[in-house]
Amino acid sequence: MKTVLDEPKLIQDYNTEYYRLINFYGNVRRTANFIKYYNLAMDASPRKDITMETYDDYIKTQTRWDIYELTPMQIISAIQNTPDNNFDLKGQSIISATTIQLYTIDNPRIGDLVTFYKPAESEEVLRVMDVRMQLNSNFSTEPLKLYEVDLETAPIKYENIGQLLKHGHFVYDLTIERNVEYEYYKEYIQQMKKLEMFLNELNEYYLPQHDFYGVDGEIICELNELIYFVKSKFNNKYYRLFENIKSPFGYWDHYDFKHSSIDDISKSAAGRKFKIINYLKNTEREYILPKSCPCSKELSSLDNLLYKTLSLLTSISSTLKYIEHANNYHNKRFKPIKKIYKQGNNVVETEVFPINGSRNS
C-alpha cells in the first residue's frame, strides 16, 4: 500500500522539478529553430471575420494580427507533403503538414499563420489546425506555456502575407527571454552596435602586461570599473556578448573599487569628477575634466580617454534602459491577480496568474 501511495507523489515531484529546470535554464538548453508567427488579435478583429478566416481568403477580411518574429520552437516533426487533387477548386496541389512545440506564444489559436526562417526557410505559409497543451504546465509556478501545434498549408500565397493587417509587432530576444516591441528592439540593436564600437576603440588602451586600461602611466578608475561591470552584465553563464573586449582583472586584483555599480559611476561622472591612479608612482588623485570640445586636437591623452569614457557611459545607459523597459513590460503584463472568495464562513484571499496574461510578451 505504501508503494502505491508513494508513486504518484514521486511522479509529481519529478514533474515539478522538470518544469522548474526548464524555467531556470531557459533557452540555454532549448535547441530551437525559428519561425515567424502570426497570432490572431481577437480584441482588435471583428468576430465574424475570424470565423471566416480559417476557411476563406485571409486578405479580404479585416482580421488583425500580432506578429512575432524569431519565435523559437522546441520541437518540430518531419514535414509531410501529401498530393491533393480537387477538380472543383484548384486542381492538383501539395498539402504540407507538420507539428511544432511552442513556449513563447501565450495563446496560439486555430487559423494562426506560420512561416519559417533558415535553415527550414521556404516560400510556404502554414496555418494552425490544432492546439494541445499540458494543463499542469500552464498552472505551474511560474506558468510554462508548452503548446503542441499542428500545421497544414494555408490558403494564402507567401508573396501576399505582407498584406495582412498588422496589430502588434514583436521580436523574441533570446538574451532576456522576452517578446519585445519590434521598433524598440531595432533601436536596441543600434545602441548595441554603438556600444561595441566604443568598446573596440578602447582596446588600444588595454595594457596586457598589467591587465587593465590606462594611458601615460595613469589609470582612470571609472573606465576600468565600467568595463568590468559591463562584462559582468552582458557575459555570464547563459549568454555572452563583447567577447573580444578584455576584462580588466589586473585592476580588480590590485586596486579597491571606487564605485559599487554603473549608476554610482554615472553620478560621479555627472560632475565630471574622476579618480586617477598613477600606477608607476602608486599615487591617487581626483581629476575634474575641463569643458572643451571632445574632438579638439589639443586634448591631452588623459582628457581624450576621459571623453571616450563619457561616451561609453552614455551608450551603456541607453542599452540598460532597453533591458529595464523589457522587464517592466513583462512584469506589468504578467502580474498575479488577487482573488477573494468565501469558503464556508471564511474569506480566503489568493493570487493567481492570468490565463490570458503574457509570460513572454
Mean pLDDT of the chain: 77
Helices vs. strands in the chain: H and E counts, helices first: 8, 16
Q: Which pLDDT band holds residue 345 (cuts at 50, 70, 90)?
A: low
pTM metric for this prediction: 0.70
| Spatial distance between the Cα atoms of 356 and 10, rounded to a whole number of angstroms | 31
> Torsion over CA of 269, 270, 273 and 279, rounded to 10 degrees?
0
pLDDT confidence of residue 65: 93
Q: Who wins on pLDDT, 249 or 119?
A: 249
- Three cell numbers, residue 14: 519529478
pLDDT confidence of residue 360: 38
pLDDT in tens, 193-236: 888 888 888 988 999 999 999 999 999 999 999 988 888 777 65
For 59-103, give the DSSP string.
SSS--EEEEEEEEEEEEEPPPEEEEEEETTTTEEEEEEEEEEEES
Residues of the chain with pLDDT > 70, as a percent, come to: 71
CB atoms near residue 22 (< 10 Å): 17
pLDDT confidence of residue 355: 38
Q: Is the pLDDT of residue 296 over 80?
A: no
pLDDT confidence of residue 347: 60
Q: Is the pLDDT of residue 343 over 60?
A: no
pLDDT confidence of residue 189: 85
| 261: phi then psi, degrees, rounded to nearest 5 | -160, 175
Question: Which CA distances in Å does 200 have to 261, 314, 356?
Answer: 22, 16, 44
Residue 208 CA, chain-centre distance (Å), reads 34
For 234-273, give the DSSP string.
HBSSS-B--TTSPP-HHHHHHS--S-SSHHHHHHHHHTTE
Q: Is the pLDDT of residue 1 over 50?
A: no
Q: Which pLDDT band holds residue 322 (cuts at 50, 70, 90)?
A: confident
Query: Which contiguous run of DSSP H or E holds residue 356?
Result: none
**64-78, 135-149, 268-282, 347-361: range with lowest mean pLDDT:** 347-361
> Torsion over CA of 352, 354, 357 and 360, rounded to 10 degrees?
40
Q: How far apart are the two ends of the chain, measured CA to CA in Å?
A: 46
Highest-confidence range of 83-97, 247-261, 320-334, by mean pLDDT? 247-261
Domains of the chain: 31-174 (2.40.10), 195-324 (no CATH)
Asked if 175 contacts 168 with a C-beta cutoff of 8 angstroms, the reply is: no
How much is the average pLDDT of 42-66? 71
Q: What is the DSSP letter of 171?
A: E
Q: Which pLDDT band holds residue 90 (cuts at 50, 70, 90)?
A: low
Asked if 190 contacts 179 with a C-beta cutoff of 8 angstroms, the reply is: no
| Spatial distance between the Cα atoms of 355 and 139, rounded to a whole number of angstroms | 9
pLDDT in tens, 15-52: 777 776 666 655 544 556 889 999 998 888 776 655 55
pLDDT confidence of residue 142: 59
Q: Is the pLDDT of residue 361 over 50?
A: no
Strand partners, 339: 350
| Spatial distance between the Cα atoms of 196 and 244, rounded to a whole number of angstroms | 10
pLDDT confidence of residue 179: 87
Asked if 275 contacts 258 with a C-beta cutoff of 8 angstroms, the reply is: yes
| Spatial distance between the Cα atoms of 246 and 148, rounded to a whole number of angstroms | 43
How much is the average pLDDT of 88-98? 68
Strand 273-278 to 218-220 pairing: antiparallel
pLDDT in tens, 251-281: 988 888 888 888 888 888 888 889 999 999 8
- Three cell numbers, residue 272: 565630471
Strand partners, 341: 348
Q: Which pLDDT band holds residue 358 (cuts at 50, 70, 90)?
A: very low
pLDDT confidence of residue 135: 64
- The one-letter code for the residue type at 71 is T
pLDDT confidence of residue 205: 92
- Three cell numbers, residue 280: 608607476
